[in-house]
A and B are shown apart, each in its own frame.
Chain A
């Protein structure tokens, strides 16, 4: 989105084949490797995010299976302590930072412009940059592991254990720099979502008409913009402590503070947990009603609860620090906040239950994933509520009870909705349906495996088993529970494999889907499957939350109707319509940028800066910084063929 075209009022029309052909020429990515590397199409970027996130999910999963074998019985010697420490740290880091957040960015990237009736995200090149940096940050972090110096102090990386004095290798330098790099990706991605929400909604899509997924990703993005600076700062201070002799965290006479790290880390960490579940909850809020054949109960309440969760989520970081010796009076406040944050969650649970109750459920695989999510969400929620009560948390914290809790949250509220979302939106992504029969097997294997593996962890924790131990002595009474957990984790992994198998199989031979195989109500189903590069031939106009169900939901025949297939014609180069933030009244024609190598080059250069910082090679840092600056100029240079200059080329 650069300059606008004020002088022209776009014409209004319907979907014509010759218009579609013209738009195809304007918007399509060049074939071959060049196009692949330079594309800024949000659908391509979204799919890359999802595929990359799943690659990391598999890596993180294999790491977990290896250390589950180690823990399957007392005093096993499959791994030595150092191997165990790297594995559990890599597992946590991978799942939390390289899978759970990015996979949702992938879905949101793919779906947002389609849900909003837009041609692309507001800032397409920034979108490409966000993906490339994510990929390079992931490779950067895994490079450490590959050469034997993976992060090994846990994903929370407490100081002074992570200080040079106690961890002399490059492990933590990799982690610190990789996390700052990843933070750039997340931040620009978040900015893009917020701007897209404000400017790119179809005419008439006022903020009370956007799907709940939009609310989920929007609030998560706002949270990221405020939360990520805290963690990036923390990692930067740590890197300086380790490499240039500062003393921010030096507790051995340097005047530093170990608590500073914990505050900064959890000011980020707690909101982040909500950021990686709210979009997934949004996917359920939008997907579940389709299979209950009615709109979501309590749309406004659920949207407000989403925002309220995030706002409260910034006030509960001390939840993770109840045992650090803070005064009881401040613990009381944070305890109350940690407990009361369950209220908006209850809004969601009862809205979903009511939707099923008052609807007529259709038992498809996505329905099974979405409906089971309600139960898993509740279990993960109540265990979080238990740890919100300080005296109880003093017993539960840092035991396997919390391991159970975090997995019910991250698998129950992220992986299950994501699996459901894959079954739900795969037809839109590929034009083909996933196999339903295999889908049932997939669901039940994952559901049984997950609960078999992770529910017993609550009990191991109540029996006193601490987290992050590479082994435990016999006679503690934890052996059988751990064996069951290990078995369950393998069953769960088999379920995830079935999902991947179903995708690989169906992408070639699945049944042809058509535009709207589920008879769903929102705009992404109004275009073809897969959608063309320009998404919509004409810009749709929206009058309700359910444009494709209006005929059947209308109580009066004269109610205003949405027009998914008729509206503004925008064909002078890559154009999109800009609308105002509240009511989505069109007010500008936006000139969208074309495909470009700039995001890729920029991402490579930024990564090179971080490699330079890792090696303390200042020449490389300087060189890469110069390339970064030069790329920025090229990035922003207006292109005549896209009409980005004042005298647009007429065709």
Chain B
């Protein structure tokens, strides 16, 4: 949270430090007053101490203390409303709209476009161009989840039955981690994603590459990997340009370009991929992917095939 890298997070940061400052000051002042009040008159004999003092004095504490507190609180309200207005709308209308649907426990990411041929779906990794606001439509696919990329903006829930719209903007290229922050069941802890901010040029290249279908391999091991994938995985997963067109699980088109497997649980390496296919329930207990019935050889061929989906 401390390292804000986007217009929205940057606008919120001074306010955050402001309220932290006020809070720490209040804490320190109260602690000091309390310590002074307790120890300012040491050495009174117990008998004197036990006498009952008159009911007077001390009301200045109320006037001054409550007066100053109220001013600080009112100032915070004004500042809050000001920042809220500032980050409510981006300065320019976003050119790109991304639809994110949260599922137990992964993220479906759809790039919208007026040209239907340019619409494509990916999962758990969101690319955006830097230096421009991007619009997000957030949808709860099953239960309530929450979309949070600390370095770019605060949280917004994804609630079934409604679409929440937010915008994000990243100042500089980089990979920003995000995570679900509304408790959503068993694997709430393992529902991360990344936002990759590319320069506008890199982003355009990435996007046109994503729109293009994956090439089906001509023959050999890769071809049988593709066949097994279609048979064993294709009812849930899709790869554009192949027969696999399932919609229950993450779309795996251009899978090899992604950084992680299973919503941020494992780094995307052939070893991890093989381990994941072998035992999805051991790695992420409760997730919807069941262990496919595969020989070691078949699993190897599927891994090899998925690694070609650049």
Contact = CB atoms under 8 A, between A and B. Distances in A.
A472 B181 CA distance: 13
A301 B55 CA distance: 14
B19 A389 contact: yes
A471 B284 CA distance: 11
A358 B189 contact: no
A350 B160 contact: no
Contacts of A462: 1-2
Given A379-B27, A469-B188, A158 B65 contact: no
Interface stretch (B33-41, B93-101, B202-210, B215-223): B33-41
B73 A294 contact: no
13 contacts: A294-B55, A325-B156, A325-B159, A359-B53, A360-B48, A361-B37, A361-B38, A391-B84, A391-B87, A395-B150, A398-B183, A462-B1, A463-B2
Interface in B99-114: 104
A464 interface: yes
Interface stretch (B117-125, B141-149, B225-233): B141-149
Interface string B77-103: 101110111011000000000000000
B85 A328 contact: yes
Given A257-B161, A336-B81, A395-B12, A350 B62 contact: yes
In which size bucket is the chain B interface?
35 or more
A392 B33 contact: no
A553 interface: yes
A256 B161 CA distance: 8
Interface in A453-494: 462-464, 466-472
Contact of A392 (B2, B15, B186): B15
Interface of A: 80-82, 85, 153-154, 158, 160-161, 166, 251-252, 256-259, 292-295, 297-298, 301, 323-325, 328, 331-332, 335-336, 339-340, 342-343, 346-347, 349-351, 353-362, 371, 374-375, 378-379, 382-383, 385-386, 389-395, 397-399, 462-464, 466-472, 519, 549, 552-553, 555
Given A346-B69, A391-B84, A392-B19, A371 B59 contact: no
B85 A349 contact: no
A343 B58 contact: no
B61 A351 contact: yes
Given A258-B159, A342-B73, A471-B189, A385 B19 contact: yes
A395 B58 contact: no
B159 A331 contact: no
B234 interface: no
Contacts, number: 263
A358 B60 CA distance: 11
A335 B144 contact: no
Nearest to A84: B189
B15 A161 contact: no
A293 B146 contact: no
A463 B179 CA distance: 13
A258 B160 contact: yes
Nearest to B11: A391
A375 B31 contact: yes
Given A328-B88, A360-B44, A471-B189, A553 B54 contact: yes
B26 interface: yes
B66 A553 contact: no
B256 interface: no
Contacts of B54: 294, 553, 555
Nearest to B161: A251
Contacts of B171: none
B187 A81 contact: yes
B69 A161 contact: no
A391 B80 contact: yes
Given A328-B84, A357-B37, A160 B61 contact: no
B62 A354 contact: yes
Given A351-B58, A362-B46, A395-B16, 9 more contacts: A166-B104, A256-B161, A351-B62, A356-B38, A362-B50, A386-B20, A391-B80, A394-B156, A398-B183
A416 B54 CA distance: 28
A324 B146 CA distance: 9
Contacts of B27: 375, 378-379, 382
Contacts of B31: 375, 378
B288 to A, nearest CB: 12
A463 B189 CA distance: 16
B90 to A, nearest CB: 14
B81 A161 contact: no
A354 B183 contact: no
A328 B88 CA distance: 7
A295 B59 CA distance: 12
Nearest to A158: B144
A166 B83 CA distance: 38
